[in-house]
Amino acid sequence: MTATTMEPFTTLASSCVVLPAENVDTDQIIPARFLKTIERRGLGAHLFADWRVDERGQPRIDFPLNSPVAVDASILVAGHNFGCGSSREHAPWALLDFGFRAIISTGFADIFRNNALKNGLLPVTLAPTAYASLVDQLAKSPRARVTIDLAPQRATLPDGSSHTFPVDPFARHCLLKPPTNPRIRRASARADGRTSSPLVRSLTVAVLPGDGIGPEVVAEGARILRAVAERYGHTIELREGLIGGIALDARGSPLPPETVDLCRNADAVLLGAVGGPRWDDPAARQRPEQGLLGLRRELGVYANLRPVTVIPSLVASSPLRAERIEGVDLIVVRELTGGIYFGDKRRERVDGGERAVDECAYTTFEVERVTRVAARLARSRRRKLTSVDKANVLETSRLWRSTVTRVLRDEFPDVALDHVLVDACAMMLLRDPRSFDVIVTENMFGDILTDEASMLAGSLGVLPSASLGDDDSAGGAAVRRGLYEPIHGSAPDIAGLGIANPIGTILSVAMMLRLSFGLEEEARAVERAVGETIENGCVTVDIAARGARSYSTAEVGGAIERAVGSA
């Protein structure tokens, strides 16, 4: 393949070509008959070939890319869901070779967006009202210019109006400053003849096994990280630390200073679980769970993403009827560093006994930032956001509801919003779970609702989570530091038996690869490996079919490792 150097993308001011057709797929962008080459250059001549020329091979004068305006245009204004269909990387190559550096639309297919970003083509998502205004302005003044400024993520239209647009933090960094340092280097041919991922990384992961079954499931997550590193040519260093009850015993603190330093200097954190009956003394001044809460605050990870999908072969593992849960695909965004878990706590003597107080408090800023995370996520999915609160009783929920309403109205008018009381949401998750897309809620409500939602998937053991903040420069590399853990607890009753389900931890590793490291191909490989292993019936006892053989934690992890290695 011809070597290419990605040019930095800072500010682009250009005229535009408008192609308003919706659902333009990659076969229309670059027809399959032109995919025999592995060269990037020359593909621009075949961009939209079936639309640009007639059956005699002559240019269609009415096609936008054949107009005089297209000669010096670097921005394509496209219809909704641009780039759908197959995952061919030739599509952004063809667009770039033609001369485009940015595409403006109201929505892009996920795989196309990822391929575009890693090749230096910027997808700009505008709200439908802003998009419609731009198309109208260009109809009146075809040569009018649009300015795209990547650093503040702002597009300025010909009439002077400015609109912000979302960009993955890691991709934004790589576009502004194409990788040149040794921590991120371009792909190269491997000794076995395969090609490594477009971004070959040298990374450090802090591994915190914790208590109970934590060490068992984290061992399998670490195994998968090593398998990914081997398969794709990355260097991933795993550094272990103490947290929770085991840290209390060894260091006298559930979160020792050396663990905090380890995590701050790592690119991501993989955690097992904390707590157990051994440390359950209600009179104790320190408890294992304080270590996890403290780590979340130290890392500034305030948005906890918990996806819930139902794998077809696990439908029978759910206590709900199949017709209610088939096709469920929702994600809960839980605020993680505020609310009652982090409020002041005290106990005091009163007449007749004691009085205990747990303070629940939220600020406008805390609600705004987690709402934006959830709304961006909803915008990339089905554009539906459900905010869960208890506004009929709690003042914090009234602040929550008014703030969410304002942020969606002012910043995400293209995302549909509804408000649901937490008790009603608990009922709806069982009665009609398919009605949800993205749920955003406060700390305690999110903790409870996601445990309930795990039963849709069949077991707590299969659900992952990612906790993210705003940091996109952790550890000196262009990554977004995150804390990744399964949603289950320490399960001390089965600790040491070798039957704990490692899938939630392994899928958390997939989320780490995608969200912190920008390694989409590797993340999908892990997810496919998990799916194949489950379909083959290699599962732990909690999700094994009645009468079927169940496998150990290590056997399941080993099967997934082999599937990753052969991906």
82-103 pLDDT, tens digit each: 998 776 678 999 999 899 999 9
Q: CB-based burial of residue 562 (10 Å sphere; 0-12 exposed, 13-18 middle, 19+ buried)? A: middle
3-state secondary structure of 192: coil
38 versus 261: the higher-pLDDT residue is: 261
Q: Are 293 and 275 in contact (CB under 8 A)?
A: no
Q: Which residue, of 135, 154, 176, is where some domain finishes?
A: 176
Classify residue 516: in a domain, yes or no.
yes
Q: At residue 115, does pLDDT exceed 50?
A: yes
Rounded to an integer, what distance in angstroms lies between the CA atom of residue 110 and that of residue 107?
9
Classify residue 1: in a domain, yes or no.
no
393 versus 517: the higher-pLDDT residue is: 393
Whether residues 169 and 235 fall in one domain:
no
Q: What integer pLDDT is reported at residue 87 of this predicted model?
A: 61
Rounded to an integer, what distance in angstroms lies between the CA atom of residue 523 and that of residue 231?
12
- Structural domain including 45 reads 11-176
Q: How crowded is the C-beta side of 502, counted as CA atoms within 13 Å?
A: 32
Q: At residue 318, does pLDDT exceed 50?
A: yes
Model confidence pLDDT, tens digit, residues 463-492: 999 999 875 443 333 457 799 999 999 999
Number of folded domains that form the chain: 3
Q: Which residue, of 176, 196, 218, is where some domain finishes?
A: 176
Q: What integer pLDDT is reported at residue 309 of this predicted model?
A: 87
Classify residue 440: in a domain, yes or no.
yes
Whether residues 102 and 130 fall in one domain:
yes
**3-state per-residue secondary structure call for 195-263:** ECCCEEEEEEEEEEEECCCHHHHHHHHHHHHHHHHHHHCCEEEEEECCCCHHHHHHHCCCCCHHHHHHH
Q: What integer pLDDT is reported at residue 476 of this predicted model?
A: 36
Q: Which residue, of 437, 457, 477, is where some domain finishes?
A: 457
Whether residues 172 and 30 fall in one domain:
yes
Q: Which two tokens stand for residue 517?
A: 């490291």
Q: Which two tokens stand for residue 122?
A: 């910027």
Classify residue 381: in a domain, yes or no.
yes
Model confidence pLDDT, tens digit, residues 126-151: 999 999 999 999 999 998 999 999 99
Whether residues 426 and 539 fall in one domain:
no
* Of 51-60, 170-179, 294-303, highest mean pLDDT: 294-303
Q: Are 120 and 93 in contact (CB under 8 A)?
A: no
Whether residues 335 and 188 fall in one domain:
no
**Averaged pLDDT score across all residues of the chain:** 88
The DSSP bridge partners found for residue 145 are 15
Q: At residue 196, does pLDDT exceed 70?
A: no
Q: At residue 174, does pLDDT exceed 90?
A: no
Residue 103 sits in a domain of what CATH number?
Answer: 3.20.19.10
Whether residues 324 and 289 fall in one domain:
no
Q: What integer pLDDT is reported at residue 109 of this predicted model?
A: 87
Model confidence pLDDT, tens digit, residues 10-31: 999 999 999 988 989 998 999 8
pLDDT band at 40 (very low <50, low <70, confident <90, very high): low
Whether residues 197 and 257 fall in one domain:
yes
Classify residue 196: in a domain, yes or no.
yes
Q: What integer pLDDT is reported at residue 37 of this predicted model?
A: 55
Whether residues 47 and 172 fall in one domain:
yes
Catalytic residues: 341, 390, 423, 447, 451
Q: Is-above-0.75 flag for pTM?
A: no
Whether residues 148 and 260 fall in one domain:
no
Residue 391 sits in a domain of what CATH number?
Answer: 3.40.718.10
Classify residue 269: in a domain, yes or no.
yes
Whether residues 406 and 471 fall in one domain:
no
Classify residue 3: in a domain, yes or no.
no
3-state secondary structure of 127: coil
Backbone angles phi, psi at 96, to 5 degrees: -65, -45
**Strand pairing report for 199-210 and 184-186:** antiparallel
Whether residues 100 and 156 fall in one domain:
yes
Whether residues 381 and 484 fall in one domain:
no
Backbone angles phi, psi at 403, to 5 degrees: -70, -45
Q: How far does the chain reach from its first CA to its final CA, in angstroms?
A: 22
pLDDT band at 195 (very low <50, low <70, confident <90, very high): very low
Q: What integer pLDDT is reported at residue 200 of this predicted model?
A: 47
Helix axes 169-176, 110-119, angle to 10 degrees: 30
At residue 263, what is the residue type? C
Classify residue 312: in a domain, yes or no.
no
